[in-house]
Structure 1
Amino acid sequence: MPIKYKVTERGTPGVAGGGTKKYYASTTARNKIDLKQLSERLAAISTVSEIDTIAVLQGLVHLLPEYLCNGNTVSLGDFGTFSVHISSEGKDTPEAVNAQSIKDVSVKFRPSVEFKKRMKGVAFKKHS
């Protein structure tokens, strides 16, 4: 199934009135696949029951933050890798940087080479 996109107009960031406007492709609203739908599909293509699949996925949701908060990077093989990234205020000296300098924590996902290969053949369809 193709990824649907729409055309959006965007101006130049930081320019009053938007500056020169250009048109870009952007994805449209997508259907959300929930845990139940995912587990049903996983059960259908494997020997694991839907209930067991839900249990494993819930366990992953529980363990991932624990491992990440302990400073680990979590690799899920051909799926990809999760890691924690932080952003902080700039300070004049190294000594001035402390935990209070950190302003945001985010989790990043880097897909594996195999995952990226599977996404290469994606088709697109313009949404009218």
Structure 2
Amino acid sequence: MSIKYKVIERGTPGVKGGGTKKYYASTTAREKIDLKQLSERLASISTVTEIDTIAVLQGLVHLLPEYLCKGNSISLGDFGTFTVHLRSEGKDTPEAVNATSIKDVNVTFRPSVEFKQRMKTVKFKKHSS
């Protein structure tokens, strides 16, 4: 299994005209795997039916936001952990910070140690243009 990449040129951020440009590896456009494809594959490698798998994954779609909005982080064992992070405006005093200071809510996924180890075994393949 290998991750396909392409070579892209990027300038220096914040420099007019891009400054010194360098070349970097970047992942290529990926095929999106939908819920049905994922559930079919999970069913093929387990004793759980495709319908049961879809039901569990749909349940996660409903429960994760509920628990995250209550301030919980959600650990899915060897998969990883989901947490909520806020982006807000900086204020001069603690009293000036309120709900309107919050500009965005981001859900972060932090892979487990085992997950990270499995990703370290990945190979790379240069995409021919």
TM range (shorter): over 0.9
For 1:34, the equivalent position in structure 2 comes to 34
State the shift of 1:31 in Å. Answer: 1.0
State the shift of 1:52 in Å. Answer: 0.3
1:18-29 equivalence runs, <5 A: 18-29=18-29
For 1:110, the equivalent position in structure 2 comes to 110
For 1:72, the equivalent position in structure 2 comes to 72
Q: Deviations over 1:19-49 (max 9, x none)?
A: 0000000000011111111101111111110
Corresponding letter in the other structure for 2:6: K
TM-score, length basis structure 2:
0.98
For 2:81, the equivalent position in structure 1 comes to 81
| Distance in 2, Cα, partners of 1:104 & 1:64 | 18
TM-score, length basis structure 1:
0.99
Consecutive aligned runs of 4 or more in structure 1 exceeding 4 Å deviation: none
Corresponding letter in the other structure for 2:17: G
Question: Does 2:7 correspond to 1:2?
Answer: no
CA RMSD of aligned residues (A): 0.5
Tell me how many residue pairs correspond in the alignment: 128
Gaps of 5+ in 2: none
Corresponding letter in the other structure for 1:40: E
